[in-house]
Chain A
């Protein structure tokens, strides 16, 4: 099983729709979680951190479910400009080697259609 798994999509949704992505992780001791956005041929950019209590930033809501080991990203009133690949990022707990390795999912591709 992969450490971080995402549905690759693509998710094709009309403008104004609400869309949600999930990301599952295998290490129950994982500590930090993020969503990054990556546009075609560009670098990943931080979209938002994911807090235990859930958090919202405008049209975007992120939630963490530790019991089921997944995080989610909800986008409301989707815009054409939301079309991108969304990467889930998990930081496991400090390993025996003392490293802080961030694990990236392979991304979920979203296409918002006019």
Chain B
């Protein structure tokens, strides 16, 4: 079975550029989560969707970050404009249902903003 798929796996970009990260959740899962992980702050939840609807975006750092889920099999996280402090690993995870179910993570996108 295919797990959560993320692309690209690595992204290096210059400050000020737009970055788009992509995620395909596990088929049949109806909750999707975007996380950011850094050494200093650990794993932080940015936003999560249930049935394609954003439920909690309180973790989105600022207006430069936006996320969409146009259908059950695809989500994007966009950063515009990017800044060096956005450098991190961005994980997408999916689960069945909202409460009490384990989440399955994608391999992550390692973003470096120079």
Please list the residues of chain A having a beta carbon within 8 angstroms of any beta carbon in chain B.
31-32, 34, 42-46, 49, 87, 91, 94, 97-102, 104-107
Contacts and interface: CB of A to CB of B under 8 A. Distances in A.
Interface string B40-67: 0011010010000001100000000000
Given A49-B102, A97-B56, 10 more contacts: A32-B100, A94-B99, A100-B55, A100-B98, A101-B56, A102-B45, A104-B35, A104-B43, A104-B45, A105-B42
Contact of A44 (B43, B55, B98, B99): B43
B100 A31 contact: yes
Interface of B: 31, 33, 35, 42-43, 45, 48, 55-56, 91, 98-100, 102-108
Contacts of B45: 101-102, 104
Contacts of A44: 43, 91, 105
- B-side interface mostly: strand
B83 to A, nearest CB: 23
Given A99-B55, A104-B42, A105-B42, A43 B103 contact: no
A102 B43 CA distance: 11
A91 B100 contact: yes
B43 A99 contact: no
Contact of A87 (B33, B43, B107, B108): B43
B106 A43 contact: yes
A49 B100 CA distance: 9
A42 B102 contact: no
A45 B100 contact: no
